[in-house]
Amino acid sequence: MSEITLDDLSLENVELTPRVLHLRKTYFKAVPEICIERSRLITAFSLQHDLFDHDRISTLDKARMYRFVLENRVPVVYHSKGYEEGMKPFEFSDGSLFAGSTTSKFKGVPLYPEFLALALWPELWTISKRARNPYHITDSEVKHLNSKIFPHWMENTILEYARQRSYEENFEKYGLRKHAPELKLLERLVFFLASKPNCISHTIPDFSKAIGIGLRGIIDEAKRKELETSDISRKEFYRAVSEVLEGIITYSRNLADEAQKLAEDEKDPVRKEELHDIARINRRVPESPAQTLREGLTTVWICWTAIHLENPNVGLSLGRLDQALYDLYRRERDGGTLSVEEAVELISCLWLKIGDHVPSIPDAAEQLFGGTGSNQAITMGGVDADGHDAVNDLTYIMLRATELMKLRDPNPNARYYLGVNSREYLRRLCEINMNTGAIPAIHNDRAVIKALMAKGETIEQARDYGVIGCVEPGSNGRFYGHTAAILLNLTSALELTLFNGRHRHTGLDVLISKETGDPSAFNTFEDLKTAFEEQIRWLVERTTALNNLLGKTHQDFYPTPILSSFFEGPVEKGRDLIRGGAVINSSGVAIIGLADVADSLSAIEKVVFEEKTHSFGDVLIALKKNFWGYESLRTRLMNPDKTPKYGNEDPEADATVSWIVHLLDASFGEKENYRGGKYRVGYWTMTNHAGFGRFMGATPNGRKAHENFTSGITPVSAVTPYLTKALNSVANQPAECLANGVALNMKYTPEPGDRKKMLDNFVASVEGYFDEMDGKRDGGMEVQFIITDHRTLADAVAHSDKYPELLVRVSGYTAYFKDLNPQMQKEIIDRTEYLLSSGRMVEFEPFPLPAERR
């Protein structure tokens, strides 16, 4: 039950302490540094134990490897050196209240040669000089990676294992000497992306057990279960759990020893005491149950760093920390041993620690993922498993830390249950969005819970959801859904439909999928829908086959004993997470280009089949010519008064969206993944709507070649003049088909003149969007905001140095605007901007396309 004892929910009088201000300043000053520690240690262990020669790597082998890494990595209590822009070194004093870090660097780029780290190989000498998002690396690190680490992994990456596996399977089953065609399609990049070659990730571990009984408690349970079972593989799994948890305990003790040593040499009495505190805490936890908030947070932090040693952090998320840590907080507050100010400081220090690493992204991939952090979502508020208000003091403390820190990671998400959570809470969420310009995202509990229950979760499981990565909901600590397993470019399905199984990017002379007929010969709109449906089903076959191939490869070569130890299910079943150990198993699909495809189909229906003003052949020629000479047709296609547009409460347009959403849910939903679970579909796009847009030709909604697609589930920019209608169109979509989450991106003009009125309207708009209208609709599932106007954003393109901390919502995750590639910056500037005071769209000219794309 909710217990609010704070007098002021906004905690206006609580500010960042000098310690946190200094750390935050240093954090923004430092450029990321490549860290080779993990790669060096796992390569050494693999060589020493001949793991490169194994046909399969057992959970126990992996566990021993991670224990070796944990016990041998350098215990860094605090950092003292970083690099600033221009790769100039600087020194600082790191007074964080938490010891340890994800990498050996202050802001590190960990490398995972098992996955895609080798893609950085060609640019090792130049990566510190690249134009966007450079990483510092020393010459000796380049040489070490080139000669001592990367060569050993050339035949041993997940993608390469999968390639070999597909070849062998094809030969065994069909006598064919070829690899899976899905791999080739993946390489083409314009059809879909898959994240399994890069990570396991995209899930929420369960920290409550580690906090409550300590790792020793989990080890004891694993040992007990090992003795109880005669099954060899289960015995091995339990032994693996003990191995990795012992490794984590040792790492924490090593930090304690190091802190003790530093304390003995420390002259400053205050710092000396702090180091003694770190030594004492890290010696106790995570081995033993946490007794204070700081110990609970240390448990989370140490376990979090260990999880990252195992898995690249791509959307690994922290879950509902305001719930998991609340009892510790309450006990200390009641006992008078913790002030609200101290709690905010602790949370702020943890927030900075969480952002102590960034994913390794090769230059080429910057186009698709540029500016991304690790997308570590954190979830606050909502209801508990019994449906009661779960917003508590710690929720508000975390929100205050979020507001003051304004960081990209963690990615804050707030749950709101209309009618259960208080209006003051929602008001506070909107206020923080106005103050930070972008965070937190707000999720509609009622719609999300309905969506999860439609996929078979119990009401208690669904109510206990946390947000994963960008916006994906999943039952906290028991749901392994790899929610970003497949990123499907829906506009490619449209492309294959329009060009009879061919794609302009791979050449109209090459048949890619199947021939579904020349659209010029279609007599009805139904013919077009049938062809589109067939192309969708073809893509669903390809993507799920690829995901299952990669998943089986993970099962053979990448068991995850650490993540499994912090999950509900694996310990009970005696089975690794990637072998189906979790309570709930599924795989997630993110769809890119929904609004563009829906508006394209609606436009064709109107122009070609209803009004018959143009033939299908004419439309196809116009598309091939990028509307050159067909300006009047383009104007008509783009005009919301002449062709139905999603986002205007137009029944036809909204129905087209619903049809697509149902089609994708049904097509993916019937497929089974490699863990015996089902596929779930969502509509969030990260930066891929800009990345894919860059490579695709003109589309029938009037979008020109190379222009961005629209983000997430958001209507197309500049065709939806009324805010309420835009929100209602999205809220009309069926929640049960959106279980993998949605990102609705809204941009509001800051209205400093009357902040109260703006806030009132802001709150009302969210309530209206979430409203289920007496069961007539499900209500919108999620909404996220940018509260910065187009002029400021355009100025930030021209003068990025003036806006080093400008936060924006991409489509799901949060990013610093300066880090985004030009195409993505344009997309954000061009997003429909509304005035909350009038509910009307602000008219402005689109930002010019980056020069090289014109």
Partner 1 sequence: MASRMKRIALRPLPYLFTDWVGQLIARLFSRKLMRQFCGEVTDTFVELLLKGMDLAFCLSKGFRKNIRGFEGRYLFQTADGLIVTSATFRKGNMRVHEAAIDDWDVRVTFKDAPALNAFLFSKDQDILDSVLADDVEVDGNMNYVYKFGFMARDLSRRLGVG
Helical residues (DSSP H) of 32-112, grouped into ranges: 37-48, 59-72
Angle of CA points 390, 395, 588, to nearest 5°: 75
Tell me how far apart the terminal alpha carbons of the chain are, to the nearest angstrom: 56
CB of 122 to partner 1, least distance (A): 3
Nearer to partner 1, 92 or 695 (CB): 695
CB of 491 to partner 1, least distance (A): 14
| Rounded Cα–Cα distance for residues 546 and 399 (Å) | 40
> Which one, of 416, 421, 481, 410, lies nearest residue 452 by Cα?
481
CB of 48 to partner 1, least distance (A): 17
CB of 182 to partner 1, least distance (A): 15
CB of 408 to partner 1, least distance (A): 22
Question: What contacts 187, CB < 8 A, 6 or more positions away?
Answer: none
* HEC readout, 756-802: HHHHHHHHHHHHHHHCCCCCCCCCCCEEEEECCCHHHHHHHHHCHHH
CB of 685 to partner 1, least distance (A): 18
Nearer to partner 1, 154 or 227 (CB): 154
CB of 817 to partner 1, least distance (A): 19
| Rounded Cα–Cα distance for residues 239 and 63 (Å) | 9
Give kind and range of the element (H or E) at residue 617: helix 616-624
CB of 364 to partner 1, least distance (A): 4
| Rounded Cα–Cα distance for residues 687 and 614 (Å) | 34
Nearer to partner 1, 509 or 774 (CB): 509
CB of 696 to partner 1, least distance (A): 10
Helical residues (DSSP H) of 107-157, grouped into ranges: 139-144
Output the six-digit token pair for 844.
């402005």
CB of 128 to partner 1, least distance (A): 13
Nearer to partner 1, 692 or 834 (CB): 692
Decide: 482 and 201 in contact? Cβ < 8 Å: yes
Nearer to partner 1, 92 or 121 (CB): 121
> Which one, of 250, 274, 252, 251, lies nearest residue 263 by Cα?
274
CB of 190 to partner 1, least distance (A): 7
Nearer to partner 1, 253 or 505 (CB): 505
What are φ and ψ of residue 84, in 5° steps?
Answer: -105, 180
If one counts every other C-beta atom within 10 angstroms of the C-beta of residue 312, the result is 23
What are φ and ψ of residue 113, in 5° steps?
Answer: -65, -20
Footprint on this chain of partner 1 (rule: CB under 8 A)? 118-119, 121-126, 130-131, 146-147, 150-151, 153-155, 157, 159-160, 163, 187-190, 363-368, 505-507, 695
CB of 367 to partner 1, least distance (A): 5
Output the six-digit token pair for 95.
């007074």
The two counts, helices (H) then strands (E), for the chain are 31, 20
| Rounded Cα–Cα distance for residues 531 and 547 (Å) | 24
> Which one, of 565, 559, 478, 562, lies nearest residue 217 by Cα?
565
Sign of the C-alpha dihedral, residues 735, 443, 102, 408?
A: positive
If one counts every other C-beta atom within 10 angstroms of the C-beta of residue 423, the result is 12
| Rounded Cα–Cα distance for residues 739 and 315 (Å) | 17
Nearer to partner 1, 691 or 712 (CB): 691
CB of 488 to partner 1, least distance (A): 17
Nearer to partner 1, 156 or 436 (CB): 156
Decide: 582 and 569 in contact? Cβ < 8 Å: yes
Question: What contacts 124, CB < 8 A, 6 or more positions away?
Answer: 137, 142, 145, 146
Give kind and range of the element (H or E) at residue 83: strand 81-84
Report cis status (omega within 30 of 0) of the bond before 286: yes
Decide: 487 and 195 in contact? Cβ < 8 Å: yes
| Rounded Cα–Cα distance for residues 433 and 691 (Å) | 27
| Rounded Cα–Cα distance for residues 383 and 389 (Å) | 5
> Which one, of 421, 446, 441, lies nearest residue 429 by Cα?
441
DSSP calls for 347-399: HHHHHHHHTSB-----TTTHHHHTT-----EEEEESB-TTS-B---HHHHHHH
Decide: 247 and 69 in contact? Cβ < 8 Å: yes
CB of 309 to partner 1, least distance (A): 22
Q: Is 88 exposed, middle or buried (0-12, 13-18, 19+ CB in 10 A)?
A: exposed
CB of 110 to partner 1, least distance (A): 18
Nearer to partner 1, 51 or 660 (CB): 51
CB of 702 to partner 1, least distance (A): 23
Nearer to partner 1, 118 or 324 (CB): 118
- Tokens 């990637």 belong to 578
Nearer to partner 1, 367 or 392 (CB): 367
Nearer to partner 1, 255 or 368 (CB): 368
If one counts every other C-beta atom within 10 angstroms of the C-beta of residue 520, the result is 14
Nearer to partner 1, 6 or 142 (CB): 142
Bridge partners for 840 per DSSP? 722, 835
CB of 126 to partner 1, least distance (A): 7
CB of 290 to partner 1, least distance (A): 43
Nearer to partner 1, 346 or 368 (CB): 368
Nearer to partner 1, 365 or 746 (CB): 365
Question: What contacts 600, CB < 8 A, 6 or more positions away?
Answer: 494, 699, 700, 701
> Which one, of 349, 378, 402, 521, lies nearest residue 813 by Cα?
378
Nearer to partner 1, 408 or 706 (CB): 706
Nearer to partner 1, 126 or 339 (CB): 126
Nearer to partner 1, 146 or 339 (CB): 146
